[in-house]
Each structure stands twice: as structure tokens, then as C-alpha cells.
Amino acid sequence: MNIILVGYRKWAYELIKSVIRKKGSHWNIRAIITTHNPEIDYTTLPIPCIKLDPKDFETEKTQEEIKRLKPNILVFYGWSWLIPKSVYKNYTCLILHPSPLPKYRGGSPLQHQIIAGERKSAVSIFAVGDGLDNGDIYTQTTFSLNGNMNDIFARIVKIGITDSIKIFDGLADKTLLPTPQDHTQATYFARRKPNESELTMDDLKNKTSEELYNFIRALTDPYPNAYIKSKDGKKLFITGARLKKDGESSKD
């Protein structure tokens, strides 16, 4: 079974690097697809790397490159663009989505969950279908949303490695079957825009300290940081915060 891995984010690179090191008896990682400007240099990985503009997935050149590799599966890790029908109709396409699907379908799932005050999430790996994030789920593993974004990404990577190998082995051996989502429980969210990262005076007056803390930590790099506008119209970006616990001194 031949596999192509797709990603562009730094955390996805760490996941892909570890998956490449694994040796499947019945599956083989043939190549990586990334963007022209990924968050980290994917060409350093020890397998062929195809760089493209995401909208070029449907071009004849890209289709021929993919066809030449004879993949059975394409796996998208943290991919921010819609996958063309011409791709998922010709190959089994899987997506890693950091939410407990069918909840939080759509864009910016981590940010929406943290800002909403969710304590736990899940790494869901599912098959691409005709609707938004509505395909059958192969694995879904819960994880904590506590801590900063680096902590959260580290958990996603660890689970993503384990669950990817489980899926590859199960698909190669034909022992793993997906579970349909309960569409009646679905919730949808749009990708957040940079202007939604502003903290206003109304926010400071009406939100609790925990709500403000969650807002700031959900919007640390690589996402558009939280900011406040000053009197002169400039933006003061807030790249970190700490929530003081009851009984804790300001110096702790």
C-alpha cells in the first residue's frame, strides 16, 4: 500500500518526520506534498517532496505527479484548503482534524474550542467526503487543551503518529473499518480572520480572567495574535499570558 503525506505546518512536519521513520510491512511512504512556503523546510525529509500551490492540486501536472507515485492513500495533516473532488474521488484521502468530530467542523478548530472554554478535544482522522469534515472516522483520540499551543501541538503530534500507524496497518491488512459520524450532532465554525483577534474595552470589562486568558493563548503563534488598539491607532500584540490561581502570589 503506497501513501503520500501532505502538510505545511511545523507541527505537521514533526508528525510526518516520525511517521517516515516507522517501517510498515505492508505499506510504504512514497512522497510528501507541501506548499511553496511551508512553515519549515520539508525538503530536508528523506523522501521525495512535491511543492505546489494548493489550488494547483487539480492541474494536469500535479495529477500526473501523483499518478506516477501510484498512491492508495493521501493523508492531509493540518491542511488549510479544500481538497478537490478530482483528488478524493480517485484516491482514499484522510484528514487529521483536531476536534471531537462531528463537533467543531470547519476552520480554526483549536482556536474556537479554546476560546469557547473547552477542556478537552480529540485528534480525529477521517475520510474525505462530499461535505465539510463529515466523512467516516477511522480513529478519534482525546487530549487535554490545557497549557500553551506548543503543549497542545505536542499532544496532537504524539497521537497523530500512533493513530496514523494504526490506520496504515489496519488499512493494509483490511482489518480497520471507519465509523460514520452522527451528523445530527454536528457544529460548524468558519476560519478565524485576523481582525477577530482584537481585544476591545468591552471584552476587558465583560469577560472573565479565564475567558481573556483562553482568548490570548488560543491566538499565539502561528496564528494571528491577540491585540489591543492604542489611542494612536497602532496595535499592541499580546503573545502570552498567565492566569493567576487563587492563593498564588504575583511573583509565583
In order of their start, the domains of the chain are 2-189 (3.40.50.170), 194-238 (no CATH)
Q: What is the pLDDT of residue 251?
A: 57
Q: Give residue 22's pLDDT band: very low, low, confident or very high (50, 70, 90).
A: confident
Q: Distance (Å, rounded) from C-alpha 43 to C-alpha 46? A: 8
Q: What is the per-residue pLDDT across 83-103, written as a single tens digit (0 to 9) for each?
A: 999 899 999 999 999 999 999
Average pLDDT of the segment spanning 126-136: 95
What pLDDT is recorded for position 236? 96
pTM of the model: 0.92
CA-based R_g, the chain, Å:
20
